[in-house]
Structure 1
Amino acid sequence: IVVVCGRNKAMQERLAALDWAIPAAINGFVDNMQEWMAACDCIVTKAGPGTIAEALICGLPIILSGFIPGQEEGNVPYVVDNGVGAYIEEPAEIAATVARWFGPQRDALSDMSERARSLGHPQATFDIVNSIVGVLEAKTA
């Protein structure tokens, strides 16, 4: 299990103090998220657009556990309706879903991973920059 707590030092310390039954890497803020995601088979996160975009590029099925109303709310149906994850708020239900995904629903996990990878746009930043350059060039021509 990989846990990234960001700048929430209290959560990191609380989780690091637990006696985990399986190997667990408890991290604070990291600047190599792509490496941590590459080591994972699914992700549990809030509905932040950057994290969702990175997870899709990595082909990670996503469990969304919450969202910021307004700015992140629309990301929930995007993940669920595209069949790349689920929206679950209750920790026990999240754990049960992960157990199913890695047990009897392993094929579903694989299918979600393929769909996620097909939705990912690793060149999106470059595409945006090229579009902006195109608009600017058209205005100056």
Structure 2
Amino acid sequence: MLRNPEQTIGNLIDKQSVSFVSSVDEDGFPNTKAMLPPRKREGIKTFYFTTNTSSMRVAQYRKNSKACIYFCDKRFFRGIMLKGTMEVLEDSKSKEMIWQEGDTMYYHKGVTDPDYCVLKFTAQSGRYYANFSSETFIIE
């Protein structure tokens, strides 16, 4: 049993250099891709990622907001899967909140680039794996 899930899981997430993000395609199949880690997280409930507005993933989330994110600590073979919903945010407040210096490498027109948007993931439940066992939990 996880004694302090938010701290244990939060520490695992913060140490990863890769996030795995899943969406559902028009045929109902899961689609997973590796992304940079979240730019911001609020506990283990809300996560913010940067992406291209023109991406396939954004189009999928606009049609079906069901989503899953996964983080893996390969050194200790631990993982956390979070299930929930993904929103596509294009308002300037959200974009400015997670903008970082150097992002112009991806979004040439800066923070107002129409091809720059924010993915906001809100977790509803999770499944944590460590020490040869898994535990499912609800996120309030």
| Structure with greater strand share of residues | 2
Q: TM-score if structure 2 supplies the norm length? A: 0.21
Larger Rg: 1
Q: TM-score if structure 1 supplies the norm length? A: 0.21
| Structure with greater helix share of residues | 1
